[in-house]
Structure 1
Amino acid sequence: MTEECVCVAVRVRPLLAREVLHRHQVCVRVVPGSAQVMLGSDRLFSFDHAFGPTASQDEVYESCVQPLVESCVQGSNATVFCYGQTGSGKTYTLGGGNQDDEGGIIDRVVQEVFRLLQEKKKNNEGLDTRVRVSYVELYMEELRDLLELQNIHKELHIREDERGNTGHSNLVGTNYPVIS
């Protein structure tokens, strides 16, 4: 894995059926053969990766997330942060569509983490392994832990400990790497 601290990718989703029905027009396009998107007819934006409407879940995962998973299993912390307005495709990219569709990032990370840990165990590496995962949503300036039903109405805070590690309030102070 390269020594990049932050890698930024953009995924442009296709128009939804209701958008086509209402004759909405595509306003963001991926420039072919590049990691750039064009907004309108003249504004270019560059990213580390740019995926168009026909990109598969495999393409996104293999390019952006798989190297993080491998690094995480070797002991590094890794975070996948999805950002965008409501309806932009975050949930689809993270979780996939229905069960007939390809799985999203979460499905693939879970499978890959445990596959890699099983390989390490077979090779007598890392016999004492702990996996700790958080799935946090920031919506309307509210931070919610989506894996803790009790926290739905509990206010969570992002904190930094004395070593500079960050996490939400119920993870700070733990010795476990966080896969977000």
Structure 2
Amino acid sequence: MSANTAVLYRMREGIGILNGRLHKIGLRVFLVIVLAHWGEHLAQAAQIYVMGWPVPEARGVLGVPFPWLVTSEWMHYGYALIMLVGFVVLRPGFTGTSRTWWDITLVIQLWHHFEHLLLLVQALSGVHLAGRAVPTSIVQLLAPRVELHLFYNALVTLPMVIAMILHTRTDRADNAAARCTCAARA
């Protein structure tokens, strides 16, 4: 067995374990990451709409002491990538209707990831979409960035939460095929 084959085998084995006995823990860790990100966006929105801060000064909780975090396209892209990887890696643990909702979330996150990749490429190249002064996503041509990211996060989180709720319900027949213990069985 080659080294590459061995690594792929171990990764597949690890993903199997994560989607089996460790799925509940994996989902909880992933949910904490998602909620922490939501908290940052909600704090930024509160800074703008409740506290009246100008948009460039509204940087969320971590962005106030570390302003470079907000302006770093690498940080935003990295988070979008972590989200995408999380949706892909945790996907095999879902079955039935919860899998459908998880897949909806995955497709939305694919688009969100593409938008962040586009922003990162613009930041690295210095060539901005539509001749804008700053990196700009496609949908950002129609909506301001702060509001757009609140919308994207809601669009990703809502079907994700529906999937997780359906996946953990003990009364759903389609959970019987799940390899994990997220829906505790008697």
Alignment TM-score, normalising by the size of structure 1: 0.30
* Structure (1/2) with the larger helix percentage: 2
Highest RCO, 1 vs 2 (Cα 8 Å, sep ≥ 6): 2
Which structure is higher in strand share?
1
- TM-score relative to the length of structure 2: 0.30
